[in-house]
Chain A
Amino acid sequence: MKPLTNAVSYLTGQLRQIGLFIALIVIVLFFQITTAGITLAPINVTNLIVQNSYILILAVGMVMIIIAGHIDLSVGSVVAFIGAMAGVMISQWHLPWPLAVVFCLVLGALVGAWQGYWVAYFGIPAFIVTLAGMLVFRGAAQIALGNQQISFFPKEFRSIGSGFLPAFGTSGYEPLTLILGLLAAAAIVATSVRQRLVRRKYDLEDEPLWWFILKLLFLVALVLTVTLLLASYNGTPIVLIILGVLVVGYTAVMNRSVFGRHIYAIGGNLAAAALSGVKTKRVTFLLFINMGVISAIAGLVFTAGLNLASPSAGNGFELDAISAVFIGGAAVTGGIGTVPGAIIGGLIIGVLNNGMSILGVDSDYQQLIKGLVLLAAVAFDVFNKRRSVGS
């Protein structure tokens, strides 16, 4: 019985990590049953990804801001502003769409620099600066559009939000998606094994082999399942590629880059970070520029996906992104949180939205349920922390 008790105690230690994942799976299975299989139907899985992509993209930037101990309430308005500017550039100034995309990203950086300046160098709390930004950029979006909507974007631009990688083959499983899925699975296996070997070499391994294999098998199975589902419908959504690059890139940045370390250090103890030589103001400034660019990406994806630049776009996105981050285990006081956590948090919200819509749950009840889920997730976190302090 000894190995079993060891295994149980190891898993309890990992509860925080796997708990979130289990919650997501339970929610998916619940809707899979109650919607009689619609939830995991290929077309719905594709929809889930496409319709939640901008929230997930925002969550990646938001988790970094929250880890640093700040908050950004302006992202929804920035999404609208960037969408509006994309519309103006393409349909009124007749710029080629790739140029407009580049300009929009630069504009996002400028928006971030503007807010970052006030937070980092002027010392105004981010809550205030971005609350102001929420109004300013909503207003700017309305002014840019003259309270009109702009529709009819070029097809290539629209594909950023709603397009798919070119499909080969006519029926059955789409081969390019299968290849990409297999490559992704292979990459996961290769990096995991390599990391484990390096840790073994330095004699730093503390993860049991059975758990390593279990986790790896599970991840691979997950990736391949999603691949098959996507391949049997339209193939790989382009937003999934954008999202994948952002998640992998920023996970590495947060875990291993000096910039990422400095963000955790600032959020954990600002004064101690400053006295350790971390350029706290510059890191904060760069962080907001980064958030501006990510908001711009979300704005482009959203506008392209709907084929519509509207002054009311992105309303309430900031709250979804912030909820995703906190459901994903980030601490309100900063210093704690992860990019994958925020993504899972965002998926939980996305699956809830999607599932409840399919079930025809009244939108009032949807709000209520989402609110309770957020509260429950954070309560679970607090409970977990208290338990670990007690022991």
Chain B
Amino acid sequence: MSNTILEMRNISKTFPGVKALQDVSISIEEGSVHAICGENGAGKSTLMKVLSGVYPHGSFEGEIVLNGEPVEFRSINDSEAAGIVIIHQELALSPYLSIAENIYLGNERERGGWIDWNETNLEAGKLLARVGLHDNPITKIKDIGVGKQQLVEIAKALSKEVKILILDEPTAALNDDDSAHLLDLIRQLQSHGITSIIISHKLNEIKAIADRVTIIRDGRTIETLEMRGDGASEDRIIKGMVGRDVASRFPDHVPHIGEELLRIEDWTVHHPLDRSRKVVDGANLNVRAGEIVGIAGLMGAGRTELAMSVFGRSYGVDISGQVYKRGEPISVNTVSKAIEHGIAYSTEDRKHYGLNLIDNIQRNISIAALDKLVDWLKFVNEHKERIVAEGYRKTMNIKTPNVSTLTGKLSGGNQQKVVLSKWMYADPDVLILDEPTRGIDVGAKYEIYTIIDRLADAGKGIIVISSELPELLGICDRIYTLSEGRITADVPREKATAEYLMQFMTQEREKTTE
């Protein structure tokens, strides 16, 4: 049996009006990979903030025992001094500083008050080698991809002599390759005796890497499952997270497919900063009424770029190609034209592109279709607006007392429902949903799928972009694969398997010599 390196005993944390954590206990074995699972809002992040000293000793009840000694962290500095480092979901790197500068930010290699650049860059280089990154330490952060940035964060943690590494949703923004690399790295660190605590929504990853998993629900520890050997199945974990058996993660749905609604022909988009680069290259696709069409592609394949360029040229330059609506050529040069032609795009990044977080639910729902609510003076009828919004709150099951709540205060799943409500009220014929369930917990995902099915049954054409293949396989009638900006296959539901799709998603451009 290995030693227990860390124990958190009977942790309770109360925010005004809310009990975020109640009597949570967890014990971590030295040198293990320990996953923490739970729905959004279950209290995972709060627990990690307690552990890392973000919430100082005294602001919560219970005790933290490290190597058998009770500890009292008053700040992040205290926890880092004890070898506990947390890497947040949103990376905390400064884009215009170099890799080396970021690694030693706040912990500079100095001599007599002056930075020793040779030592900084030399030591940073050694740390980078440990995480398998071969870039020059003087490269600026903005010039490397998210996957590499994640590795820089880990290198930074290593520079602090980390013993327990906490990773909050480390692969949420990574593609499959980078995720695989990161998981390898965690295993490698494990072999060097570093303990990792991982918060993740991705059950297949937990299955792949974790030794044990602790499930938290509604601020309480539910259970800790052994994952080594045969261990617990994904469905078993889901059951613990939602507190019920999930018969199926996807609702049953029988499609009723009608006429063609939207066709995109020979669509080519160039990169805004590098006009010679084709981000989307001669893409052809269509969607019919009542049909749910998926777009599968690895990160960087051009999925979001394709969708946003079609939606009012919101991305890219030198765009060519033609869009047809019910067989008629249409112009989608601006967002308002696209909306007029019955196209809607729900973004993958709700907080930055989807919602006005400092305004309420009501006004967020109506913003794309205010014209439906105005009188002859172009004044909005707020009463009607409120009734509309209340209607969506009820039918979409947005969990809040009324529609005056600011959207910034809602959970991810509820925010997504507000975004969907906005587009449902605009009543488009074709909805492009970009990562509709990103950052949403399992229970809410099922609700979102049900809403998508309902929209399809109402005769709308749905295009779903997702980086989770099981999701596309679970809900789509047909799936396009996208690789390097080109549509590489059009796969009907019957033929679609993860392996089959992956083959086309990774298909490389044939080298032409012209």
Residue-wise interface mask of A (373-391) relative to B, using a CB-CB cutoff of 8 A (1 in contact, 0 not): 0000000000000000011
Cβ–Cβ contact B383 & A198, under 8 A = yes
- Which of A198, A256, A265, A391 sits near B359, CB closer than 8 Å? A265
Closest beta carbon of chain A to B379's beta carbon, Å: 5
- Chain B count of residues within 8 A CB distance of the other chain: 40
Whether B355 lies near A269 (C-beta < 8 A) is yes
Q: What distance in Å separates the Cβ of A108 from its nearest Cβ neighbour in chain B?
A: 23
User: What is the interface of chain A mostly: helix, strand, loop, or mixed?
Assistant: helix
> Does A93 have its Cβ within 8 Å of any Cβ on chain B?
no
In the complex, chain A residues whose CB is within 8 Å of the CB of B356:
264-265, 268-269, 272-273, 335
- Tell me, rounded to whole Å, the shortest Cβ–Cβ distance linking B341 to chain A: 11
User: CB within 8 Å of A: which of B385-404?
Assistant: 386-387, 402, 404
On chain A, which size bracket covers the interface? 20 to 34
- Establish whether residues A274 and B16, one from each chain, have CB atoms under 8 Å apart when the complex forms: no
Of the residues B334, B370, B386, contact of A261 by C-beta under 8 Å: B370
Q: How distant is B410 from chain A, measured CB to nearest CB, in Å?
A: 14
**Chain B residues with CB below 8 A from A258, complex form:** 370-371, 374, 378-380
Which residues of chain B in 298-354 are interfacial with respect to chain A, using CB atoms and an 8 Å cutoff?
311-312, 314, 334-336, 338-339, 345, 347, 352-354
Pick the contact of B347 from A202, A256, A275 — CB < 8 Å? A275
Q: What residues of A have a CB within 8 angstroms of the CB of B359 in the complex?
A: 264-265, 268, 335
* Interface locus among A145-153, A276-284, A348-356: A276-284
How far apart are the CA atoms of A255 and B15 in the complex, in Å?
A: 34
Q: If A199-B383, A256-B379, A277-B368 touch, does A390 touch B358 (CB 8 Å cutoff)?
A: no
Of all chain A residues, the one with the shortest Cβ separation from B366 is A261
With a cutoff of 8 Å between Cβ atoms, the chain B residues found around residue A336 in the complex are: 358
Q: Please, which residue of chain B has its CB at the minimum distance from the CB of A259?
A: B378
A252 within 8 A of B: yes
Tell me if A204 is interfacial: C-beta within 8 Å of chain B: yes
Which residues of chain A have C-beta atoms less than 8 A from B379's C-beta?
Answer: 252, 256-258
B373 to chain A: closest residue by CB: A258
- Map CB proximity to B onto A226-266 as digits: 1 under 8 Å, 0 otherwise: 00000000000000000000000000100111110100110
Q: Of A199, A255, A269, A276, which is in contact with the most chain B CB atoms at under 10 Å from its CB?
A: A276
| A279→B380 contact, CB < 8 A | no
Q: Does A271 make an interface contact (CB < 8 A)? A: yes
Residues of A within 8 A of B368 (CB): 276-277
Q: Do B374 and A275 touch across chains, with their CB atoms under 8 A apart? A: no
Do residues B370 and A268 form an inter-chain contact, with CB atoms below 8 A? no
Q: Report the Cα distance A391→B17, complex, angstroms.
A: 6
Question: 1/0 contact trace for B154-198 toward A, CB 8 Å?
Answer: 000000000000000000000000000000000000000000000
User: Which residue on chain B has the smallest CB distance to residue A276?
Assistant: B368
Quick check: A279 and B336 within 8 Å, CB to CB? yes
Given A252-B379, A264-B363, A269-B353; 12 other pairs, CB 8 A cutoff: A199-B383, A255-B382, A257-B380, A265-B356, A269-B355, A272-B354, A273-B356, A275-B314, A277-B368, A331-B358, A335-B356, A391-B15
B contact residues vs A (CB 8 Å cutoff): 15-17, 311-312, 314, 334-336, 338-339, 345, 347, 352-359, 363, 366-368, 370-371, 374, 377-380, 382-383, 386-387, 402, 404, 422, 426
20 contacts between A and B (CB under 8 A): A204-B383, A206-B402, A257-B379, A257-B380, A258-B370, A258-B374, A261-B370, A264-B363, A269-B355, A269-B357, A272-B347, A272-B352, A272-B354, A273-B367, A275-B354, A277-B312, A277-B339, A279-B336, A390-B15, A391-B17
- A positions within 8 Å CB-CB of B: 198-199, 202, 204, 206, 252, 255-259, 261, 264-265, 268-269, 271-279, 331, 335-336, 390-391
